[in-house]
């Protein structure tokens, strides 16, 4: 590890960045250095902006990926190299606003029924039933399942931004988890890797999801994060209020949760068009 890379990583540790964010930021800065075959601390604004344009026009990166690179460069120059003026001159790319894909309840049931084995089915069921991110479900430990009758919740330790939270533990999910435990006998992590030396790789969880989608004939379903979107939307359709859904999802701002208002089909279909409120013309 180069001294600059180590310095940047230590700066992120001091600020409480998650391991995933640190890895992403370091990879973004390393890609910038590789592009110019020079240390990034010797680059100027023009060169960095040209690199961002290269990512968009030639590499065809999504705007979200370009935004990650911008944030990483801003942190490097602002927090590590103490040159905030250079970082602030880099504009943030605008991310197109697209509504997330949501599965119907019948589609979720079909997906779970077509999981390739008990382990995959239990992982997908847990992801949906608790509204978890893929990194969160993979990081679950046995001690995080609080099944006492007065508790009945799941503690999410590896949440985004390093924040812990509690989410739902339904009786049906608890029965499925107990059946899975009797079969798999996990020791620490609920879904461990093959050697049981650490948690399951999120990429493996994604493959489980895609395999179930193919088997169920769900061709338009997006990644496993779709189960989290479906969890929130189905709760909203069932009448759960937005602040409660916000806490279950771990959103920092209610505005992030409000996008599910656009996805709740029951609310859309129950809304009366203003045309139907007009009085019919007489005569």
Coil, helix or strand for 194?
coil
Residue in 25, 51, 128, 260 annotated catalytic: 260
Residue in 74, 114, 121, 251 annotated catalytic: 251
Coil, helix or strand for 40?
helix
Residue in 133, 180, 209, 234 annotated catalytic: 133
SS (H, E, C) 5-33: HHHHHHHHHHCCCCHHHHHHHHHHHHHHH
Q: Is 210 a catalytic residue?
A: no
Q: Is 155 a catalytic residue?
A: no
Q: Is 185 a catalytic residue?
A: no
Q: Is 160 a catalytic residue?
A: yes
Q: Which of 81, 92, 84, 94 is nearest to 42 (CA)?
A: 81
Exposure letters 68-104 (e unless 16+ CB within 10 A, then b): bbbbbbbbbbebbbeeeebbeebeebeeeeeebebbe
Q: Is 228 a catalytic residue?
A: yes
Task: Tell me phi and psi for residue 146, to 5 degrees.
Answer: -100, 95
Residue in 160, 165, 207, 259 annotated catalytic: 160
Residue in 5, 22, 207, 225 annotated catalytic: 225
Residue in 74, 114, 121, 228 annotated catalytic: 228
Q: Is 234 a catalytic residue?
A: no
Active site residues: 133, 160, 225, 228, 251, 260
């Amino acid at each position: 590890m180069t001294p600059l890379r180590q310095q940047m990583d230590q700066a992120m540790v001091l600020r409480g960045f998650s391991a995933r964010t640190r890895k992403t930021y370091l990879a973004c800065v390393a890609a910038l250095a590789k592009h110019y075959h020079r240390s990034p601390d010797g680059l100027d604004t023009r060169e960095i902006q040209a690199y961002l344009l290269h990512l968009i026009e030639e590499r065809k990166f999504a705007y979200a990926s370009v935004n990650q690179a911008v944030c990483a460069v801003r942190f490097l120059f602002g927090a590590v190299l103490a040159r905030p003026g250079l970082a602030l001159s880099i504009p943030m790319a605008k991310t197109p606003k697209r509504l997330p894909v949501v599965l119907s309840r019948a589609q979720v049931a079909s997906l779970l029924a077509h999981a390739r084995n008990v382990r995959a089915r239990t992982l997908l069921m847990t992801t949906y039933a608790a509204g978890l991110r893929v990194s969160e479900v993979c990081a679950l430990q046995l001690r995080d399942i609080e099944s006492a009758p007065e508790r009945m919740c799941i503690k999410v330790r590896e949440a985004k931004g390093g924040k812990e939270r509690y989410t739902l533990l339904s009786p049906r999910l608890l029965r499925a988890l107990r059946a899975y435990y009797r079969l798999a006998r996990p020791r620490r992590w609920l879904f461990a890797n093959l050697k049981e030396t650490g948690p399951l790789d999120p990429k493996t969880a994604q493959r489980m999801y895609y395999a179930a989608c193919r088997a169920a004939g769900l061709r338009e379903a997006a990644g496993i994060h779709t189960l989290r979107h479906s969890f929130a939307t189905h709760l909203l359709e069932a009448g759960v209020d937005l602040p409660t859904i916000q806490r279950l999802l771990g959103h920092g701002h209610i505005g992030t949760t409000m996008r599910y208002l656009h996805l709740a089909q029951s609310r859309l279909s129950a809304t009366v068009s203003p045309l139907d409120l007009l009085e019919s013309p007489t005569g």
